[in-house]
Structure 1
Amino acid sequence: MKLLTATLMLLSFCLTLYAQITIDNFLTDDVKRAMDYITEDYIRANVQFLAHDLLEGRGTGSRGELLAATYIATQFKLLGLEPGGDNGSYFQKVPLVGITTFPSEFMTVKGKGKTIKFKYYDEFIAVSGVKKDFVSIKDADIVFVGYGIVAPEQNWDDYKGVDVSGKILLMLNDDPPATPEEPNLFGGKARTYYGRWTYKYEIAAKKGALGAIIIHTTPSAGYGWNVVQSSWSGEEFELANDVEPKVQLKGWLTEEATKKLLALAGKNLDELVKSAQTRNFKPIELGLKLSLDMKVKVRNLVSQNVVGILRGGDEKLKDEYIVLTSHHDHLGIGKPVNGDSIYNGALDNASGVSALLTLAKAFSELKVKPRRSIIFVALTAEEAGLLGSKFFAQNPPAPPIKIVANINIDGINIWGKTKDVVLIGMEKSTLGEIIDRIARKYQNRYAKPDQFPELGMFYRSDQFNFAKIGIPAIFFDNGVEYIGKPEDYGRKVVEEYIKKNYHQPSDEYNDTWVLDGAVEDTKLVFLCAYYLANADEKPEWKPDSEFRLIREKMMK
């Protein structure tokens, strides 16, 4: 009888808790106790292992990445999470095709009786977009297509019906800039998806182009030529089930090399850029012909997302989900820099996976499970073009309408506590408002939108693929107002990291990392995920979000 009475009392407590949960009252003693498991030591230990040289940079499909995935799956099992992968395992297999390109040393461009040779790696980068052993481009016409954008909602079309099939398209990076007359053109200062390299190659393929070459400048890319070199000189990947059209050549050209190429055509880069910044722009035949040979190694492989589930405690809501994500891959072994060839990816993104594991630990310690279920996913192949999240979104463990929200972690705060937290995509859904209210209530902090909108980070990390299928999603990033530091400290440390360490072997774990801010951020993610897993309130896309209609169609 005593046992029955106790059970009924616990059930009554849970029902009362669930019925009354609001942002003002959901921080119970159980939640506080679970949060105590979010510690610097737990975060630090996981980063140290995942970023160790033994894992060889966790390159997609590599031995090191499999070791990382196995470690994560083992941690999920130790924490009591249910397997959420294939056939009762923690692994969701992701079939991929790997393409390694070996371009000829020089790319040749001819025009007006002259010939210029551009040196691979130093002046141009080229990869094959097709699964062939050999790609040979001979005397292909080069056409300058401005930004290479077709955006009907912006009344913008850089192609103007010109047939560019079989040609090489030379295009500018980023979006066209806003003007005083149209301050919100292409998102204003923010980069849209039209400004991403992924879009540039996609639209070129749809137009039937033989290849596309993007002009690199540090301001337009948001990173230096060294990042292009490290990111595009190894094995590239695509999903094995990808049937979208592809260009044969995906290329990058330095700014100085571009100026030499255009001079051969009697053109000036600055003048072409200016002409491309208006709706009246039309493609310009440069009167140049390009030749390049590429040997290609193609292989089929299988990588893996690692999926663990904390099953919810409410019979009606346990089949709804909050998804927490972080990618476990990096660049693997690449060209040596200062004698180091292992691209460890400590901050990007061993640190994010460590936060994910820490969150899983805290949730596993709850005595009263959340009403909704929580899915923890360590994603593969983010660095290869968000492929792991794309596959997961194509093959979710539940219908997308049952997934309430996605919170993605890509890097943690290694520089100390902040007064704020930055949410990439804050303006797109009510998720940002929910997180801001929780931060203000429980941490005396506040949320800010993207502080580097020109980098287009929402379209460069895994939450994008959740948004594309209608799921409210947000990228949880570092704050920038560091306590006890100068006002510009936050911007400076990020810019310095991008310049020196981003996608470089120097992105290594260091004992000097200051992780008290990471602990506070991880606790905030925990609070937000816990609230979303229990509240009647669900996040929604804002009326002006490009993803709103996808969700609304799903709900009909």
Structure 2
Amino acid sequence: MRPTLWLGLIGFSVVTSMFTAAASPWPTGFETAIRIEQLRADLQFLADDLLEGRAPGTRGDRLAARYIATRLAMMGLEPLEGAPDYLQPVPMVGVTARPEPLRVEVRGQTLEFQAVQDFVVWSGVYEPAVSIADAPLVFVGYGIEAPEYRWDDYKGQDMRGKVLVMLVNDPPAPPSEPNLFEGKAMTYYGRWTYKFEEAYRKGALGAFVIHVPDMAGYPWQVVQSSWTGEQVHLDVPGVEPALPVKGWIQEAAARRILQAAGYSLDDLLRRAARRDFRPIDLGVRVTVEFHQEARRFTSQNVAAVLRGADPDLQSEAVLYTAHFDHLGIGPTVQGDSIYNGAYDNASGVAAVLGVAEVYAHLARQGIRPRRSVLFLMVTAEEAGLLGSLYYASRPLWPLDKTVANINLDGVNVWGPTEDFVPLGMDRTTMDEVLQEVARAMGVTLRPDPFPEKGYFFRSDHFSLARKGVPAVSVEAGTHYVGKPPDWGEKLHEEYIARHYHQPSDQYDPAWPLTGMAQTVEWAFRAGWLLATRDARPVWKPGRAVRVPGL
């Protein structure tokens, strides 16, 4: 693989806690079990070319799962009923679409658009061929029906037999209503997953989301790498919407269609931002055709448990999660076609294994928390949180006995930070525990610096949260020790622009991993308190996750 473009940050030392042993609610000396060399070995192996990007249903997928299972077994952690060899089977189907050009008939002219360059498309049905011929194209604004916000883009109109085109993200909050759709923060209504779910509920034949980079939070190249090639789905009825056509359309292509129909995207953006917006039949007919090749296979989640010490509480558990999949082999970029996913999310798996090492180290000394602790590494997150959705529908531990979930997705590989960002912290009383951990480590907890990107809805903790489990996803802050104040934000922006879902997301031996060690300590401290305190965290009033249709 070609050399990484990322900066190596060398010379940091691990930020050590100033909390005194005498007053500490944590076991003395647990930090000695956090070993950077072990974190590095796990990260380097999982991100190696040998695993070919860890796409579900591939050799790399199986190698990664077996490696993780072996590591958990070597720690002395137990398998769970339903996954006797640490592996929970997840039935899946992989579908590869081969689209014809998208044909649009408008005002007596025919426009054609090319797959990948102008649009991407896939299906929620797994037939050998999918064809929608000469269907009306209807603009439905943001494609949202949200009674709690008194918002309805559909206005009761019949969408059966139509192809919908809609905007990504939420409607903007006007000055007169600054908290509309939680203001700057993206809600679930802004996610593409919701858009397709709602289109399916309305009986549409298909739906295209217009990709405007600033509104989506990532460039078109991310759409190309994420939604081309084989797309995987759960081979379980009723879990995903069976919408015949789902797709993204590139902004320039959308503008061309709208202009030909006599509309302006900028004008439609303004109209869609109002409550009185009504669906617009664009006077356009669209034909979408593609052949599909499907293969059924079994992927796997990997799970283990450390049993709690308190007979009255050991039936309850704190759950750590991370996804181990990535995109596999895809389009070649600068001579490289392996999408290793080192940061996303070999780093998170290595960190969860690091947390498990701490618990296992203490258990060998006869020290266990009162509650049990689960470790779950899931498949197919990149395909829409599928592994965690499957687990949430068929849990290996009762969800009503799962007191909290701590998720690690994209763990800081650079250096220690002065702050952490626990996504979702404000939704539950878990914030009290997390603040105690922050004080112990001398760091600050900050709100999401990029709320408009909707990160809370984009990783596996959300699958548990939508089922009622208090959950956070832990991210590093942006204030790096010894770096200028804006250094962390620039690093994040560079990653999204150049490396997110690209072959260049690969392991760099220059990474110091001191930030990863800091994250492991933070995650252990938080989980230990949740597993030892009497009280369980609960959702704050009005802050529980609400998913339409559930």
TM-score by length of 2: 0.93
Aligned to 2:228: 233
User: Among residues 163, 168, 171, which one is paired with 1:173 in the alignment?
Assistant: 168
CA contact (8 A) 1:426 1:450 kept: no
CA contact (8 A) 1:329 1:349 kept: yes
Structure 2 Cα separation of the partners of residues 315 and 29 of structure 1: 20
User: Among residues 117, 132, 138, which one is paired with 1:143 in the alignment?
Assistant: 138
Superposition map of 1:99-498 within 5 A: 99-104=95-100, 106-243=101-238, 245-366=241-362, 367-440=366-439, 442-498=440-496
Aligned to 1:63: 59
Q: 1:26 to 1:467 in 2, by over 3 A?
A: farther
Aligned-pair CA distance for 1:240: 1.5
CA contact (8 A) 1:85 1:91 kept: no
Aligned-pair CA distance for 1:97: 1.8
Structure 2 Cα separation of the partners of residues 27 and 328 of structure 1: 37
SS in 2 for 1:82: coil
Q: 1:27 to 1:237 in 2, by over 3 A?
A: farther
Aligned-pair CA distance for 1:548: 8.8
1:509-551 CA-to-partner distances (Å, cap 9, x unmatched) read: 001213112211210111111111111122111112133999x
Where structure 2 has 5 or more consecutive residues not aligned to the other structure, the ranges are 1-18
SS in 2 for 1:142: strand
CA contact (8 A) 1:85 1:306 kept: no
Bigger mean CA deviation after superposition, 83-92 or 70-79:
83-92
Structure 2 Cα separation of the partners of residues 26 and 196 of structure 1: 47
Structure 1 Cα separation of the partners of residues 356 and 454 of structure 2: 29
User: Among residues 514, 517, 526, which one is paired with 2:524 in the alignment?
Assistant: 526
Q: 1:443 to 1:173 in 2, by over 3 A?
A: same
Aligned to 2:69: 73
CA contact (8 A) 1:426 1:433 kept: no
SS in 1 for 2:281: strand
Rg (Cα) greater in structure: 1
Aligned-pair CA distance for 1:376: 0.3
Measured on the aligned residues, the alpha-carbon RMSD in Å equals: 1.7
1:35-68 CA-to-partner distances (Å, cap 9, x unmatched) read: 2111221111110000000000000111101100
User: What amino acid sits opposite 2:487 in the alignment?
Assistant: Y
SS in 2 for 1:280: coil
CA contact (8 A) 2:122 2:246 kept: yes
SS in 2 for 1:458: helix
Aligned to 2:9: none
CA contact (8 A) 1:328 1:349 kept: yes
Q: 1:27 to 1:247 in 2, by over 3 A?
A: farther
Superposition map of 1:13-28 within 5 A: none
1:295-352 CA-to-partner distances (Å, cap 9, x unmatched) read: 0011211110000101111111111100000000000011111111100000000010
SS in 2 for 1:58: coil
SS in 2 for 1:383: coil
Aligned-pair CA distance for 1:263: 1.0
Bigger mean CA deviation after superposition, 514-523 or 56-65:
514-523
User: Among residues 83, 97, 114, which one is paired with 2:79 in the alignment?
Assistant: 83
SS in 2 for 1:381: coil
Structure 1 Cα separation of the partners of residues 290 and 25 of structure 2: 62
CA contact (8 A) 1:58 1:64 kept: yes
CA contact (8 A) 1:430 1:540 kept: yes
Structure 2 Cα separation of the partners of residues 493 and 235 of structure 1: 31
Aligned-pair CA distance for 1:480: 1.0
User: What amino acid sits opposite 1:259 in the alignment?
Assistant: R
TM-score by length of 1: 0.92
SS in 1 for 2:315: coil
Superposition map of 1:539-550 within 5 A: 539-547=537-545
Structure 2 Cα separation of the partners of residues 27 and 294 of structure 1: 65
User: What amino acid sits opposite 2:537 in the alignment?
Assistant: P
* 1:47 partnered with 2:59: no
SS in 2 for 1:57: coil
Q: 1:532 to 1:245 in 2, by over 3 A?
A: closer
CA contact (8 A) 1:470 1:548 kept: no
CA contact (8 A) 1:35 1:526 kept: no
Q: Structure 1 vs Structure 2: percent identity of aligned residues?
A: 49
Aligned to 2:509: 511
Structure having the higher helix fraction is 1
Structure 2 Cα separation of the partners of residues 159 and 81 of structure 1: 51
Bigger mean CA deviation after superposition, 320-329 or 27-36:
27-36
1:212-269 CA-to-partner distances (Å, cap 9, x unmatched) read: 0000011111000000000000211222223254221111111111110001111111
CA contact (8 A) 2:33 2:357 kept: yes
Aligned to 1:553: none
SS in 2 for 1:454: helix
User: What amino acid sits opposite 1:200 in the alignment?
Assistant: K
User: What amino acid sits opposite 1:155 in the alignment?
Assistant: R
Structure 2 Cα separation of the partners of residues 439 and 450 of structure 1: 16
Bigger mean CA deviation after superposition, 511-520 or 142-151:
511-520
CA contact (8 A) 1:121 1:229 kept: yes
Bigger mean CA deviation after superposition, 461-470 or 534-543:
534-543
SS in 2 for 1:545: coil
CA contact (8 A) 2:25 2:529 kept: no
Structure 1 Cα separation of the partners of residues 38 and 107 of structure 2: 64
CA contact (8 A) 1:107 1:119 kept: yes
SS in 1 for 2:491: helix
SS in 1 for 2:33: coil
Aligned-pair CA distance for 1:294: 0.4
Structure 2 Cα separation of the partners of residues 346 and 165 of structure 1: 43
SS in 1 for 2:503: coil
1:16-50 CA-to-partner distances (Å, cap 9, x unmatched) read: xxxxxxx9989769823332111221111110000
Q: 1:437 to 1:30 in 2, by over 3 A?
A: closer
CA contact (8 A) 1:541 1:548 kept: no
**Larger RCO, structures 1/2 (Cα 8 Å, 6+ apart):** 2
Bigger mean CA deviation after superposition, 86-95 or 46-55:
86-95
Aligned-pair CA distance for 1:487: 1.1
Aligned-pair CA distance for 1:85: 5.3
SS in 2 for 1:36: helix
CA contact (8 A) 1:419 1:479 kept: yes
